[in-house]
Chains A and B, each alone.
Chain A
Amino acid sequence: MAVIEREAKIVNPLGMHVRPGAEFVKVANRFKSAVEVRKDDVSVNGKSILGMMTLAAECGSSIMIKTEGDDAEEAMNALLALVADGFHEMHLKHKDEGAT
């Protein structure tokens, strides 16, 4: 049983809120491994949307992801890719964000 822990930086402008949380839970639930997410001193189950909803992480901040189980590595890679891809919502911006 492998245990992996990695830091991931939030890059999408709107940060980690409900929709990214939902994407995260969907990916996490594809794997058998337990997934834990930590931000500052709050730690939640990465497979639970209600847990993830309590985590608010703004753009630029970091979260710690821990996966534990037979497919811990695959789970970690998939989750890191999702976070790095901005939860598929790099195109959503704050309304007041301007050009040039």
Chain B
Amino acid sequence: MSERQLRGIGVSPGIAVGPAVVVRWALPEVPHRVVPRSHVEKEVRRLRAAVKDVRRHLTELREQAVDRAGVDEARIFDAQILMLEDREFIGGVAGLIRKNHFTAEKAFEFKTLEVRDLWTDAGSPLLKERLADVTGVAIRVIQHLMHRGAQDLWEGISQPSIVVARELSPGLTVQLDPAHVIGLISEEGTRTSHAAILAHSIGIPAIFGLRGAVERIRPGTMVILDGNRGTVLLDPTPDEVAEAERSETRRSELSARLEEAVAQPSVTLDGARFTLRGNVDLPDEIAAAQLHGAEGVGLLRTEFLLTGHSTLPTENEQTAYFRRVADAFPGHPVVVRSYDLGGDKFPAPFRVPAEANPALGWRAIRVCLDEPEIFRTQIRAVLRAAARAPIQLMIPLVTRLDEVERARALVAEEAAGLQRAGIEAATSLPVGVMVETPAAAVMADRLAEISDFMSVGTNDLTQYTLVVDRGNARLADRFTPHDPSVLRLLKLVAEAARAAGKPASVCGEMASEPLSAFLLLGLGYETLSVAPPALPLIKWLLRQVTTAQARAAADAALAARSAALALDILRFALAEAVDLTLLDPDARLPAGRRSGSLKA
């Protein structure tokens, strides 16, 4: 059994079943010839012409990549195109022709091998991975000089097949025909290889880094390639093929259901309305949130306005950004979180001395209140954008009542100032608390009295409650928002908000995950703000449950003695309502990045 199963790195999800075709994409054998002195300049011209042709061809591939994979992915080709414009490199090749009277192809091969040796000696795994790009260019140029086409590589494949290669270049990957190539296996490469990124974007299941694949998989062998698990099964039995096909059917069925969910209303099985908003960290997530049906933005981060810039963003720049986001979700709220600066998240204009313990240090609302000018500028921008859209302001890392009171006073002062100046702006603004410290959760009843809404940030709340840094790998299994202590705090906040008649939501990462979304609904959170790619999954899921089921499950989870038991209870309860077998047991988000490309 074990010798039939090979394991590599799953770099693009999905399952493919078909015969293996071994493709040799390697530097061709270049005959060693020299040219007479009189032909040297002609040889250099031949080199320049070939470089120009291949460069044009790569530019076409880049266009193809924009269509098939996306703009960011297409930039992968820039490096290859620039290599052909690299004066040091091409000049070096020309130099070899002139000095040693090599043919153009020999000189190109020589120079390429020189780079290969240099990079291999450097021992950096990253460089080794980038060699595929260099080799890809070299193969194209040398084949062109030797009058061989590169394109016919795919043409010999007549039936849907799984391609096995030592190494795949991005150019080769973007050219492949999905009707004939249904899966990719490569000996070299990792998840971050350019060819892997392209395979993922195009949607072809792929496994990279499978040592000895070319030798162990003979051409024509039937294989099952499981891109989710990174496994290849050779000569499968009919039963194994049937099981693989079933699991692929489940995967495509789930993505079809999720696609349907986007257009469906957000109501539970018993008709209770819930609201799903998107978390927007960076501007390009606006489109993803829209695409996946977000009803507004429950957490609009503002730090990107600062990081990487040498000046603070102006009031106008911020106003324009907030308006742009609000325009994308007409009629729905956009919750702007005030600057959450601190630790390493300080912009260039600040030079803050390093703190021994930044998580417990000068950050978020503490910085904003100590640097009121920065805060006031942001408040004015929010007020101005809120003149024509339901924009709200959320205060992060609150631990004391006076932080909310002081922030509200600043909002009132700036609103009055704008009015006096005759500038179009909202006269008031809903101001809410981001509950992410145990202090805020415990004081939720008091905070609810002095704020307009509360939204729980579960990562920080978990970190501060359990005293676990979530970046600490050794403590990874202790970082769980399902710990009974965190669940009690979540319950406390929901109840305090309800008693005060104020809306409560969750905008932390927890809400993006199926079991937790079910739990949060049961705890009384009817509004969740999630990572945009998770929106369809959470909607699909909550549409299949009743509030009574969710409440019963949440009560049982609250009574559990540990996070593991709470999760077992939730899993058991949710399985009564939802076909959990559709969800990939290995993945936290079953659709992962795939649901990010539902549009495809």
Q: A19-B78, A85-B308, A89-B72 are in contact. Are A56 and B88 (CB under 8 A)?
A: no
Q: With both chains docked as a complex, state the minimum distance between the C-beta of B118 and any C-beta of chain A, in angstroms.
A: 8
What's the tally of chain B residues with a CB closer than 8 Å to chain A? 48
Query: Is there an interface contact between A95 and B87, defined as CB atoms closer than 8 Å?
Result: no
User: What is the minimal beta-carbon distance from A34 to any residue of chain B, in angstroms?
Assistant: 12
B 275-297 to A, binary, CB cutoff 8 A, 1 in contact else 0: 00001011111000000000000
Q: SS class of chain B's interface: helix, strand, loop or mixed?
A: helix
Contact string against A for B residues 243-280, beta-carbon threshold 8 Å, 1 for contact and 0 otherwise: 00000000000000000000000000000000000010
User: B308 touching A98 by the CB < 8 A rule?
Assistant: no
Contact with A along B448-485 (1 / 0, CB 8 A): 00000000011110000000000000000000000000
Least CB distance from A8 to B in Å reads 11
Any chain A CB within 8 A of the CB of B127? Answer: yes
Given contacts A17-B126, A18-B130, A100-B508, contact A49 B531 (CB under 8 A): no
- Asked whether, in the complex, the Cβ of A99 is within 8 Å of the Cβ of B509, the reply is yes
Known: A18-B133, A91-B284, A99-B509. A50 touches B86 (CB 8 A): yes
Chain A residues numbered 49-100 whose CB sits less than 8 Å from any CB in chain B:
49-51, 53-54, 56, 60, 84-86, 89-93, 95, 98-100
Residue in A22, A93, A95, A99 whose CB lies within 8 Å of B78: A22
Say if the beta carbon of B344 comes within 8 Å of chain A. yes
Mark out the residues of chain A between 15 and 36 whose CB falls within 8 Å of any chain B CB in the assembled complex.
Answer: 17-19, 21-23, 25-26, 29
Q: Which of B524-553 contact A (CB under 8 A)?
A: 531
Contact at A45–B88, with CB atoms within 8 Å? yes
**Residue A11 at the chain B interface, CB threshold 8 Å:** yes
A35 smallest CB distance to B (angstroms): 12
Q: Which residues of A contact B505 (CB under 8 A)?
A: none
| Set of chain A residues within 8 Å of B348, measured between Cβ atoms | 9, 84
| CB atoms of A12 and B308 under 8 A apart | yes
Query: Contact at A56–B79, with CB atoms within 8 Å?
Result: no
B122 interface residue, CB < 8 Å from A? yes
Kindly list chain B residues whose C-beta atoms are within 8 Å of the C-beta of A17. Answer: 126
Q: Mark B343-361, 1 if CB is under 8 A from A, else 0.
A: 0100010000000000000
Q: Do A91 and B282 have beta carbons less than 8 Å apart?
A: yes
Chain A contacts of B281 at CB under 8 A? Answer: 93, 99
Within B305-363, the residues touching A (CB, 8 Å) are 307-310, 344, 348
Q: Assess whether A26 is in contact with B78, with CB atoms less than 8 Å apart.
A: yes
Q: Are B457 and A100 in contact (CB under 8 A)?
A: yes
**Which residues of chain A come closer than 8 Å to B86, judged between CB atoms?**
25, 48-50
Q: Say yes or no for B75: interface residue by CB 8 A criterion.
A: yes
**Per-residue A-contact encoding for B94-132, CB less than 8 Å = 1, 0 else:** 000000000000000000000100110010101100100
Query: For the complex, is B507 an interface residue (Cβ under 8 Å from A)?
Result: yes
Tell whether, in the assembled complex, residue A11 and residue B72 are in contact, meaning their CB atoms are under 8 Å apart: no
Instruction: Tell me the complex Cα distance, A3–B459, Å.
Output: 48
Known: A95-B593, A99-B512. A50 touches B122 (CB 8 A): no
Known: A22-B79, A25-B82. A98 touches B459 (CB 8 A): yes
Chain A residues with Cβ below 8 Å from B126 are: 17, 56
Question: Is B89 on the interface with A (CB-CB < 8 A)?
Answer: yes
Chain A contacts for B512, CB-based, 8 A? 99
Instruction: Give the complex CA separation of A19 and B76 in angstroms.
Output: 6
Cβ 8 A contact of A50, one of B88, B458, B459: B88
Closest chain-A Cβ to B489's Cβ sits at a distance in Å of 15
- Chain A min CB distance to B228 (Å): 15
Q: What's the nearest-Cβ distance from chain B to residue A31, in Å?
A: 14
Q: Which one, B134, B308, B593, contacts A90 given CB within 8 A?
A: B308
CA distance A85 to B308 in the complex (A): 5
The answer to whether B82 and A26 touch across the interface, beta carbons within 8 angstroms, is yes
Closest chain A residue to B133, Cβ basis: A18
Contact A60 B79 (CB under 8 A): no
In addition to A9-B348, A50-B83, 20 A-B residue pairs with Cβ atoms within 8 Å of each other are: A19-B79, A23-B78, A25-B82, A26-B78, A45-B88, A50-B86, A53-B130, A54-B119, A84-B308, A85-B309, A86-B308, A90-B304, A91-B285, A92-B72, A93-B281, A99-B507, A99-B508, A99-B531, A100-B507, A100-B508
Residues of B within 8 A of A (CB): 72, 75-76, 78-79, 82-83, 85-89, 115, 118-119, 122, 124, 126-127, 130, 133-134, 194, 279, 281-285, 299, 304, 307-310, 344, 348, 436, 457-460, 507-509, 512, 531, 593
List 20 A-B residue pairs with CB atoms under 8 Å apart, sorted by A's residue number.
A9-B348, A11-B307, A11-B308, A18-B76, A22-B78, A22-B79, A26-B82, A29-B85, A47-B88, A48-B86, A48-B87, A49-B82, A50-B88, A50-B134, A84-B348, A90-B282, A90-B304, A91-B285, A99-B281, A99-B508
